[in-house]
Amino acid sequence: MIDSQNTSISMWLKAIVAIGDNMVIGANGSLPWKIKEELGLFKKITTGHSVLMGRKTYESLGKPLPNRNNIVLSRSMQPRDDVTVLTGPEELSPPSDAKLLWVCGGAEIYNALLARCSQLIVSHIHGNFAGDTFFPKFSHLFKYNSDIYLCDKFVTKIYNNVNCEAPIMKFMLD
């Protein structure tokens, strides 16, 4: 369980996001861009693990992400069969079998949990996009580790939490 007042880092908690050059992540309840390669990379990294998202992001998807344990944070959603609904981050617990819990947004969820994530994977989308939802500043919390993917539309980088005392395993994309 995560204590709501606790800011300690969990090795099993990692965040993943796609950000435009102007830090935008969302527009009118969806993504500001349509980039197949980025969605494919997100799928590859998160499949087989747990994904945690806010109610608004879940509603923008419309259904659970396949082959992942879907957890939605909401104070208003009723319990349901297809996803696990939690009313606050303090209800989170480590996934079993050395799996990871990927914090997948949106902005409210990143704001609540980013400091507790051991790693952050950012796809930096080239360009300034119109939007209404922005990723928080993170340079005081995370330091650059490595690039894991590069194409003409974006570059994907790994950042490690600067406050993590335990060694962080190198992330491998197979």
In the block, residue with structure tokens 């945690």: 52
Q: Is 114 in the site for ligand NAP (CB under 6 A)?
A: no
Q: Tokens for 36? A: 């197949």
Size of the residue set binding ligand NAP (CB under 6 A): 29
Q: Is 92 noted as a catalytic residue in this protein? A: no
* Residues 26-65, interacting with ligand NAP (CB under 6 A): 26, 29-31, 53-57, 60
Beta-strand runs (E) in 55-153: 69-73, 84-86, 101-103, 117-125, 133-134, 142-150
Whether 38 sits among the annotated catalytic residues: the reply is yes
6 touches ligand NAP by CB under 6 A: no
Instruction: Map tokens 């344990």 to a residue.
Output: 69
Candidate residues 37, 108, 134, 171; the one interacting with ligand NAP per rule CB under 6 A: 108
Q: Of 109, 92, 89, 103, whose CA–CA distance to 52 is shortest?
A: 103
- Facing residues of 47 across strands? none
Are 74 and 85 in contact by the 8 Å Cβ rule? The answer is yes
Span of 74-82, 92-100, 140-148, 155-163 interacting with ligand NAP by CB under 6 A: 74-82
Question: Which stretches of the chain bind ligand NAP, using CB under 6 A?
Answer: 17-18, 25-26, 29-31, 53-57, 60, 73-77, 87-89, 104-109, 112, 133
